[in-house]
Chains A and B, each alone.
Chain A
């Protein structure tokens, strides 16, 4: 299977180690390269032992929020006869993110094994891989892989002769960013509009079809087989304390070698951009970057000399997010970036919560007014104030996701907004319309 970008010798390959191998998506290739060893090990362990191994790995959710995976699995209630489910978030829609696509394309059995280990850990009997509609080719690909898995006894009854039963299906989405939010995804899985649910109860207690559910990102599940095979400590030691393992970073924008690369957590961001990403295109200077999907606050070039792990990024006032890193050079118009980001969130807001639905609409109008040359001086503060008022006031994080990059762009690149407004002769007039 073809690679989308050449690998870098500086990568640490755990979840991407089969990328580029001939027939990497076939069961025989998988079995010949250590496949299902983690699952077989898990089958010989108790549920608690499996969860403890994942806890020891310091694996944190790779979808964006970075919640500790072992802890999430531990919330699923025990001693209940009710059915339990595993749901895979393969809705990959966060702007900048294109890694789950590669994992499913090149190494689908790694995902399947991770799902089976999660199922064993919580006693689940059924699962769904929720794949965004735009990735239709992957739905067909995974369906073909699952057919092979059923035929060869690696799915269904008595999996690999272990006595464990599990059924796994694909579920195609139909185009909605909001369905990447876990509770909206569950609504969509039930055949409804993808609007978020009020929590608690969290999916671990009441998830898919109101049953206890483990719900994780594709990459999170893909890390699990090697954690079981080599031990949680091995995985943890690849990263930094509390930030175990490696992660896929999707490098995009004005760099010489954009691509998806797997690096250990804690790698220095500038080292990553310069050594793996080949530095800036055309000898330009870097101005800013979005570190992990467009929901993250932006960093200026001066702020990028930091470790890429969840805690260091939080300390720098941003997030590791979903790994979608977009680098911008000195010629980038940050006001237009802010507007484009807001157009996206306005389009994708599900409309359930007023601060998000109205906030994104008004922020887009104000940003467009500035770009169109009709902005007023007071608009700049108003954008920041309005965005701050959205924070924490919605059922799901989409409102925050729209507000956070906007706040950071206005704060860090205010002179660019002022330069736009300065061109408007009526910028300081009280008579400038507000809408």
Chain B
């Protein structure tokens, strides 16, 4: 499996971060950065990283299964994550999630057939004082209102 030169350079740098013989520490960052490029954690990607780190595919798989941001299926071009945890819930986060479900026509962890949008109801994303908050891919949006949510989604067509 080949990656972009930028990602290869990032991997090479990562492997220098850990003590001698403990480069398995690079696994989770490698999965996160590779996922951004490949689009999902594919079987090929798991085999490739397992080979590079000298661990079994199963050891990679059990890590992938544990972390909520690692996904084996591709997400939409815009992955809309709506927080409904307490701080956001108090100020309308759950209603925003319902609004997004209706508008996008998909539910939790589902992707539109067109591949444009996917939706996820997420736990606290660390924007509690500016609730309700959402993330689209890695971008935060704070103090979201129903009108603002429409505006954000309109801008991503």
Residues of A within 8 A of B (CB): 4-5, 83, 92-98, 101, 126, 128, 132-137, 169, 171-177, 188-194, 209, 211, 250-254, 258-260, 290, 294, 324, 326, 328, 332, 336-337, 340-341, 344, 347-348, 350
Contact = CB atoms under 8 A, between A and B. Distances in A.
Contacts of B142: 4
Contacts of A126: 19
Contacts of A132: 126
Contact of A326 (B24, B69, B127, B128): B128
B87 interface: yes
B29 interface: yes
B85 interface: yes
Contact of A101 (B28, B31, B126): B126
A194 B90 contact: no
Given A4-B130, A253-B91, 20 more contacts: A4-B142, A5-B129, A5-B130, A95-B86, A96-B128, A98-B128, A126-B19, A134-B126, A137-B138, A172-B29, A172-B33, A174-B31, A177-B123, A192-B63, A252-B87, A260-B129, A294-B86, A326-B86, A326-B87, A340-B84
Contacts of B85: 95, 294, 340, 344
A157 B87 CA distance: 44
A324 B68 contact: no
B15 to A, nearest CB: 11
B25 A189 contact: yes
Contacts of A254: 90-91
3 residue pairs, one from A and one from B, having the closest CB atoms? A175-B69, A191-B27, A174-B67
B103 interface: no
Interface in B19-62: 19, 22, 24-29, 31-33, 53, 55, 62
A175 B129 contact: no
A201 B84 CA distance: 37
A81 to B, nearest CB: 14
A258 B86 contact: no
B63 A95 contact: no
A95 B32 CA distance: 23
Interface string B103-121: 0000000000000000000
Contacts of A344: 85-86, 123-124
Given A192-B63, A251-B129, A93 B22 contact: no
Contacts of B123: 93, 95, 177, 344, 347-348
Contacts of B22: 190, 209
A194 B17 contact: no
B56 to A, nearest CB: 12
Contacts of B68: 174-176
Contact of A97 (B31, B66, B126): B126
Contact of A95 (B29, B55, B124): B124
A294 to B, nearest CB: 6
A94 B19 contact: no
20 contacts: A4-B142, A83-B19, A95-B87, A133-B69, A134-B126, A171-B29, A172-B33, A174-B31, A175-B70, A177-B123, A177-B124, A191-B24, A191-B25, A191-B53, A193-B63, A253-B131, A258-B131, A260-B129, A344-B86, A344-B124
Contacts, number: 145
Given A134-B125, A134-B126, A344-B123, A191 B86 contact: no
Nearest to A171: B29
Given A98-B126, A174-B31, A177-B123, A328 B25 contact: no
A98 B135 contact: no
B31 to A, nearest CB: 7
Contacts of B32: 133, 172, 174
Contacts of B86: 95-96, 290, 294, 326, 337, 340-341, 344
Nearest to B85: A95
A253 B87 contact: yes
Interface in B81-108: 84-87, 89-91
A144 B145 CA distance: 33
A400 to B, nearest CB: 18
A414 B122 CA distance: 29
Most buried by B among A134, A172, A189: A134
Contacts of B17: 128, 169, 171
Interface string B5-25: 000000000000111001011
Given A175-B69, A189-B25, A191-B26, A250 B53 contact: no
Contacts of B140: 137
A93 B25 contact: no
A5 B129 CA distance: 9
A173 B66 CA distance: 11
Contacts of A136: 138
B37 to A, nearest CB: 14
B146 to A, nearest CB: 18
A313 to B, nearest CB: 19
A194 B68 CA distance: 12
Contact of A209 (B19, B29, B124): B19
A193 B27 CA distance: 11
Most buried by A among B32, B67, B69, B124: B124
